[in-house]
Amino acid sequence: MKKIQMVDLKGQFATIKDEVNESLQEVLESTAFINGPQVHNFQKELEDYLGVKHVIPCANGTDALQIAMMGLGLKPGDEVITADFTFAATVEVIALLQLTPVLVDVEPDTFNIDPEAIRKAITPKTKAIVPVHLFGQTADMDAIMEIAREHNLYVIEDNAQAIGGNFHSKENKTYKTGAIGDIGATSFFPSKNLGCYGDGGAIFTNNDELAHTIKGVVNHGMYERYHHDVVGVNSRLDSMQAAVLRAKLPRLDKYNEARRQAANKYDQAFKGQEHIVTPFLKGAPDTHVYHQYTLQITNGKRDALVKHLQANDIPCGVYYPIPLHKQKAYADERYNEADFEVTNRLVKEVVSLPMHTELEDDQIDHITKAVIEFVNN
Ligand SMILES: *Cc1c(COP(=O)(O)O)cnc(C)c1O
């Protein structure tokens, strides 16, 4: 059996090596390191793939979220509702822009933001909702878009973990995640489903005016050279990263399918296990791209299991061990523990197993046997 990796970037690279080397060589020889043709071509190709009018590449996923909020003109004091159970980047940029983060609980089955909790958190100051398609599963966008329309709120999708996933609306329309709300933000961090070989990110929107605003924001607030109309930032995807992404984008559907197959095999192996809850798939199979394969261990043995797996060379991860509302940086007396029942439980129960495009059957066998044996003893 090959050594088990949490994410096997080496194995994946081996399958695209010639193509990536060639396009990187091209960038080197052209010396068009910034805003070169690779960036422009990738932008167009991603627009086509997502079926979205505008993709604006930027330096990373955290920037993408921040720039989205700047582009929408959110002002200090505006309240932005997001999930308590997610990576900190989402709440970090809200706080950095001096907006007021309002953390709410998630659904117990999908781990995604709970529409009922959003409703309860809305005040006259609420301006936006940031759903995160956590671990690769599409959030309940029908309900979220309905709430947003009712209360005149922006929707910014944090699509860092779900690129390539689908959403089938109740009107029977199919969208790519990130292309549903007013604006989508994604990350091309190496371990994401579409990852580059460094940092990268992008913002998506179908709104022409918003796209124009954002193209200035990412470039020092310039719409005309050396005329700075708004306070902007410097956030670019570089040409080398775009070259890598161009090689991987045509394979993204295949990559996501490989993740689904690995998830199915895990599911089969854990079937009938009393203390192991496998990921809940709420919609059609194409609404989950398994950025993570996350179990809940319900008999109190999660922490011991993590130690056991690590001691046996089986990598695993706890995403996330502390609810955001309990983090020092984001704690606030407004919060009431009773409102975070699900997140408070999940942080003690979740464990994510190795998930990537190169997982082999004997590795999955080995991992699932080790988990089942330990949890039941
Ligand atoms: C990875 C991630 C981000 C941040 O992306 P970076 O490119 O690392 O800045 C934001 N939100 C979520 C949910 C993520 O998983």
Q: What is the pLDDT of residue 162?
A: 98
Residue 2 lies in a domain: no
- CA-nearest residue, atom 5 of ligand 1: 61
Ligand 1 centre to CA of 89 (Å) is 6
271 and 123 in a single domain? The answer is no
267 and 334 in a single domain? The answer is yes
**How many Å apart are CA 195 and CA 289, to the nearest integer?**
14
Alpha-helix runs per DSSP H in the chain: 9-30, 37-50, 61-71, 89-96, 115-121, 141-151, 208-217, 239-248, 252-270, 302-311, 341-349, 361-375
94 and 192 in a single domain? The answer is yes
Q: What is the pLDDT of residue 264?
A: 98
Total number of domains in the chain: 2
- CA-nearest residue, atom 2 of ligand 1: 160
**Cis peptide bond N-terminal to 320, omega within 30:** yes
Atom number of ligand 1 nearest to Cα 134? 13
Q: Of 250, 283, 306, at which residue does a domain stop?
A: 250
pLDDT digits (tens, 9 = 90+) for 132-169: 999 999 999 999 999 999 999 999 999 999 999 999 99
223 and 318 in a single domain? The answer is no
Residue 293 lies in a domain: yes
Provide residues with CB under 6 Å of ligand 1: 60-62, 86-87, 89-90, 132, 158, 160-161, 187, 189, 199, 201
Atom number of ligand 1 nearest to Cα 60? 7
Strand partners, 129: 81, 155
Residue with tokens 């932005």: 80
**How many Å apart are CA 121 and CA 84, to the nearest integer?**
13
Residue 222 lies in a domain: yes
Q: What is the CATH number of the domain that holds 316?
A: 3.90.1150.10
pLDDT digits (tens, 9 = 90+) for 267-315: 999 999 999 999 999 999 999 999 999 999 999 999 999 999 999 999 9
Residue 262 lies in a domain: yes
**Token pair of 207 as six digits:** 């709104």
82 and 166 in a single domain? The answer is yes
89 and 149 in a single domain? The answer is yes
266 and 172 in a single domain? The answer is no
Atom number of ligand 1 nearest to Cα 199? 7
Q: What is the pLDDT of residue 127?
A: 98
Ligand 1 centre to CA of 141 (Å) is 20
Containing structural domain, residue 364: 252-376
**Token pair of 208 as six digits:** 């022409």
204 and 351 in a single domain? The answer is no
Residue 304 lies in a domain: yes
Most informative mutation of 62, 237, 241 for ligand 1 (most atoms within 8 A of CB):
62
**Token pair of 192 as six digits:** 């994401």
Ligand 1 centre to CA of 245 (Å) is 17
214 and 141 in a single domain? The answer is yes
212 and 81 in a single domain? The answer is yes
Atom number of ligand 1 nearest to Cα 188? 7
98 and 110 in a single domain? The answer is yes
**How many Å apart are CA 4 and CA 103, to the nearest integer?**
36
**How many Å apart are CA 188 and CA 200, to the nearest integer?**
5
- Low-confidence residues in the chain, pLDDT < 70: none
Residue 210 lies in a domain: yes
Alpha-helix runs per DSSP H in 138-251: 141-151, 208-217, 239-248
Q: What is the pLDDT of residue 227?
A: 92
Sign, Cα dihedral of 175, 254, 282, 151: negative
Atom number of ligand 1 nearest to Cα 291? 15
Three-state DSSP at 9 gives: helix
Residue 3 lies in a domain: no
Backbone angles phi, psi at 100, to 5 degrees: -100, 115
Residue with tokens 């396009």: 23
Q: Of 186, 219, 250, at which residue does a domain stop?
A: 250
- CA-nearest residue, atom 14 of ligand 1: 160
Judge residue 45's burial from the number of C-beta atoms within 10 Å of its C-beta, 0-12 exposed, 13-18 middle, 19 or more buried.
middle
Three-state DSSP at 119 gives: helix
Strand partners, 175: 167
277 and 208 in a single domain? The answer is no
Q: What is the CATH number of the domain that holds 34?
A: 3.40.640.10
Residue 4 lies in a domain: no
Q: Of 220, 250, 280, at which residue does a domain stop?
A: 250
